[in-house]
Amino acid sequence: MIAVAGAEAVSVCGGPVIPVQLGRVDSMVPDPEGKLPEETLDASGLKQCFLRKGFSTQQLVALSGAHTIGSKGFGNPSVFDNSYFKILLEKPWVSAGMSSMIGLPSDRALSEDDECLRPPVLAALGTPKITLFGIVYSLNILKDKFLCRWIGIYADDQKTFFEDFKSAYIKLVNSGALWKNV
């Protein structure tokens, strides 16, 4: 129910439509304590925590984009879009008073990590394209492959954020689940 409600909330708020597989075996016991990442973890702690569960830095950054919804200062609280990443790139955010209201410590930690972010020079370039004999090549593919600065990529390209969020969400909610044989 939680996995389905989460996916429904994302699409109702304008995010991607995420198919959630039904029919899983319900758990009879609660999860042990300490399975969720602490909001006070730094970027390296967050990355390790996600890696231990089989999630890459890219998936950590994409999933954290869910914080675009709600009251943490990432744009319209009821719209699922890529404002989270755009606002993280605006660091240090207008004023010290305002910055303390933006995001959780974990969100701010991602914006201070080189692997999660990207160099300002590439941020200024936006989405570069080369035109050769009428054919347009997007350098985004190269950026994705070799630079891996996910906050910048998702701030530039909401479609890529939606695609990556969708697959990471499916992986997250299916992780450790068992299904009935029907």
Binding site for ligand HEM (CB under 6 A): 37, 39, 46, 63-64, 66-67, 69-72, 104, 106, 169
Tokens matching residue 35: 């399975």
**Cis peptide bond N-terminal to 92, omega within 30:** yes
Considering the complex, what minimum distance in angstroms separates the CB of residue 26 from ligand HEM? 21
Nearer to ligand HEM, 52 or 145 (CB): 52
Considering the complex, what minimum distance in angstroms separates the CB of residue 181 from ligand HEM? 29
The C-alpha torsion from 77 through 140 and 91 to 50, rounded to 10°, is: 70
Considering the complex, what minimum distance in angstroms separates the CB of residue 100 from ligand HEM? 13
Considering the complex, what minimum distance in angstroms separates the CB of residue 147 from ligand HEM? 21
Closest CB to ligand HEM: residue number: 70
Nearer to ligand HEM, 37 or 75 (CB): 37
Tokens matching residue 149: 């600065």
Give residues with Cβ within 8 angstroms of 149, minimum separation 6: 114, 115, 116, 117, 118, 119, 122, 143
Nearer to ligand HEM, 67 or 118 (CB): 67
Considering the complex, what minimum distance in angstroms separates the CB of residue 21 from ligand HEM? 17
Nearer to ligand HEM, 33 or 135 (CB): 33
Nearer to ligand HEM, 107 or 156 (CB): 107
CA gap 66, 118 in Å, rounded = 20
- Complete DSSP assignment for 72-109: SSSS-TT--SSHHHHHHHTTT-S-HHHHTTSS-HHHHH
Please name which of 46, 41, 36, 37 lies closest in space to residue 116, comparing C-alpha atoms.
Answer: 46
